[in-house]
Structure 1
Amino acid sequence: MSLAAVLYSTKQERFMLWTQPLRRYFQFSGRASRAEYWQFIAVAVAAYLFAGMLDLGREGLSGTPWLALLVMLGLAIPAYAVTFRRLHDRGVTGWVIGLQWVLNGIYFVVDRMRAGTRGSLIDAPFALINGIDILLTLALAIYIVVQLSRPGDVGDNAYGPPPSDHIVATPSADARRAADRVSELERLTKLHRGGVLTDAEFEQQKAASLDRG
């Protein structure tokens, strides 16, 4: 395979990383690269918005967005799975997402308890708890987004080897030699056209370059 073919193949594969979460639909273990994660999120958001536009055209504002709901439900599991794996790539447990749900649950329970006490002195402790809960939820959300956005660990970590797209494809020895021959022939051609090499010298050095290959 030529050097150009290797580089083209690698580039094509990198643009298809968003398909990995669909192939690993229920896989919460292992690691996922930053490119894989954000490509999938971008495609998922685009699919959801497109489905929402179709729903809007069919049902109007008062209708139920069935297509958007189906897309959201269909992509929920792979979205959580790839988020787990992306955090693993950073060496962070995926269950940090569960802490978000715990904080949301605490807020909901406390808010329900406040239903009959709003405006009274008894409401003050509940309001304080909810305020602290909101701050913790926001801080945790920022932490998660930062982790999702940073490069993964180099080499193996506690969650396994790095994703395959972390490894830069290295052209084979034959591909490198072919690329070197092309560069050498281009250099000799320029020298020949510029009058630096005579016809005989050009043919001699060209033959020598091809023999070395």
Structure 2
Amino acid sequence: MIEWYKKVVFENYANFRGRARRSEYWYFRLASTIIFLLFVVLGVIIYAATDNGPLALGLAYGLLMLYALGTMVPSLAVSVRRMHDIGKSGWTILVAMIPLVGPIWILVLLFTEGDSGENYYGNDPKNEIEEINEIGNVELQ
């Protein structure tokens, strides 16, 4: 999970081209959720440990907002690459702004398996990993 997070945040920070597998997208989301929850727990601990609760809560909230701003571009980029993996335009993400139906449809798309083989947006990332593993196994023998 940490490797996927580093890949999305540091290596593909603003890469809107290509494709992202389901695991890349969901591991990034899982890691982001865990970090978010850590900030919430930190805020509660600081709030409980200090006499100036609102100031401590404001500090924790400020750190949370800095994290959200720092991961906004990678989050959008991995979402666009995920749409590319199923053969949809990155602009499809905007459907999520349609009340009630939009987010549900986007969630279904995010769980959909990607196109096998090459599509308009590039090679299948699942096949690329399998090819690398096969090359590694041949060299080891």
Q: State the alpha-carbon separation in 2 of the partners of residues 166 and 81 from structure 1.
A: 20
Aligned length, in residue pairs: 128
1:66 to 62, 65, 72: 62
- Which amino acid in the other structure matches residue 110 of structure 2? L
Q: State the alpha-carbon separation in 1 of the partners of residues 2 and 62 from structure 2.
A: 30
RMSD: 2.2
In structure 2, the partner of 1:75 is 71
Residue ranges of structure 2 left out of the alignment (5+ in a row): none
* Superposition map of 1:88-107 within 5 A: 88-101=84-97, 103=98
Q: State the alpha-carbon separation in 1 of the partners of residues 47 and 65 from structure 2.
A: 13
Residue ranges of structure 1 left out of the alignment (5+ in a row): 1-13, 104-136, 176-213
Moved more, 28-37 or 164-173: 164-173
Shift of 1:33: 0.5
Runs of 4+ residues over 3 Å off in structure 1: 59-62, 164-167
Identity of aligned residues (%): 31
Q: State the alpha-carbon separation in 2 of the partners of residues 71 and 56 from structure 1.
A: 17
Is the Cα contact below 8 Å between 1:34 and 1:149 reproduced in 2? yes
165 and 44 in structure 1: CA distance in 2 versus 1, 3 angstrom threshold: farther
* Superposition map of 1:43-192 within 5 A: 43-59=31-47, 62=54, 63-64=57-58, 65-101=61-97, 103=98, 137-163=99-125, 167-168=129-130, 169-170=133-134, 171-172=137-138, 175=141
- Normalized against structure 2, the TM-score is what? 0.79
- Normalized against structure 1, the TM-score is what? 0.54
